[in-house]
Amino acid sequence: MHRRNLLKITALSSVLLLKGSSNLISQTNILSNIKPKSLKKGDKVALVSPASNVTDLMDVYRAQEICDNLGLSTILPKSIVKTASGYKTRSAEERIDELHKAFADKSIKGIFCIRGGFGSAELLDKLDYDLIKRNPKIICGYSDITALLTGINKKTGLVTFHSPVLLSNFDEITFDSFKKILFENSAYGEIKNPSSEKIRENHPTISINEGKATGELIGGNLSLITSLIGTPYQIDTDGKILFIEDVGEAPYKLERMLTQMRMAGMLDKLKGVVIGKCDDCSAGNSQSSWDRSELEVYNYIFASMDYPVFYGLLIGHTSTQFTIPIGIKAELDSENGSLNILESAVI
């Protein structure tokens, strides 16, 4: 172990000497994590839609329903429902203004995304990160919202939350996970799929590389993570536990994205990987003899790595969905198929 670490340090030193002082600056410019304040009943939260627009009043009702059950008061920007033809009817400027007002308003304690869709990445180079850092508060969502969660975490150090959006299924497990992480100032503890108590598990997890590892959590939707490679908003993976999820992607597309991450050096120095259950990620009738299956892709990419990896945790596009805090320390146990959140994500 000591020898391997020494080799990594030596290799890093060589890279820094070759690339000059700019890399030295980036290595020392690491932000400390900022935890937002916990929520409590009666708090005011902003319902936002920074990706695709919400054009159906029933969706607004369904979003409000979740907040009512949490005992929260809500603010809904008028621009969300003023039109009925999708995200293009709301300019980037409107969506940026919506987020900036939510962060600047001292009475607002949290920012909940109603839905994902498309368009969040467009906002990253327009956000006022100093404003966000001065006014840290809960912001949560998933899917396309990954761009905001990882971008804000990287640029400000704010802990963000990969969670259901307000139009998600919100079964009892999903609701309890969401509420506990956002409302309780204590370590969440173990996140593990529910047991079906049948001969076959409904939600099995599969260990690809056995072992345990501890590190800070980073990740989200795989498509969004790879779309930001080469930009200032590319996630930092060194020494982290990476969690990824996606939906409706054929195995060859998953392999292509993970290969891009591998070639960008983003898989080299991880502590471990959690892969979320991927619905509709089979090749279907189009699978050719040269195609790998979904699990064969993960085995091909990760089996030679020296850190633990497992597949199947219910995060992302699944009917049951755990909330995962980005920037918080956790322990991964691939044989147990679990993540143990080791510290509170809020203060």
Q: Is 143 a catalytic residue?
A: yes
- 199 shares a domain with 156: no
Provide the CATH number for the domain around residue 84.
Answer: 3.40.50.10740
Catalytic residue among 98, 245, 249, 294: 245
Q: Is the pLDDT of residue 213 over 90?
A: yes
- 160 shares a domain with 270: no
Least confident of 18-22, 103-107, 256-260, 271-275: 18-22
Q: Is 249 a catalytic residue?
A: no
The total number of structural domains that make up the chain: 2
pLDDT tens by residue, 70-84:
999 998 877 676 655
Catalytic residue among 317, 331, 334, 338: 317
**DSSP notation for 225-271:** HHHTTTSTTPPP-TTEEEEEE-SS--HHHHHHHHHHHHHTTTTSS-S
Q: Is 162 a catalytic residue?
A: no
pLDDT tens by residue, 262-291:
999 999 999 999 999 998 777 665 555 567
Tokens of 334: 């691939």
- Quote the CA–CA distance of 219 and 242 in Å, as a whole number: 5
Catalytic residue among 52, 120, 143, 338: 143
- 326 shares a domain with 287: yes
- Taking the alpha carbons at both ends of the chain, their separation in whole angstroms is 35
- 255 shares a domain with 150: no
Residue 3 counted as domain residue: no
pTM of the model: 0.88
Q: Read off the pLDDT of each residue in 196-210 and give the average, rounded to a whole number.
A: 91
Residue 346 counted as domain residue: no
Q: Please say which residue of 141, 168, 195 terminates a domain.
A: 168
Residue-number span of the structural domain to which 124 is assigned: 44-168
- 142 shares a domain with 217: no
- 199 shares a domain with 101: no
Residue 295 counted as domain residue: yes
- 218 shares a domain with 156: no
Residue 123 counted as domain residue: yes
Report pLDDT for 196.
Answer: 83
Provide the CATH number for the domain around residue 280.
Answer: 3.50.30.60
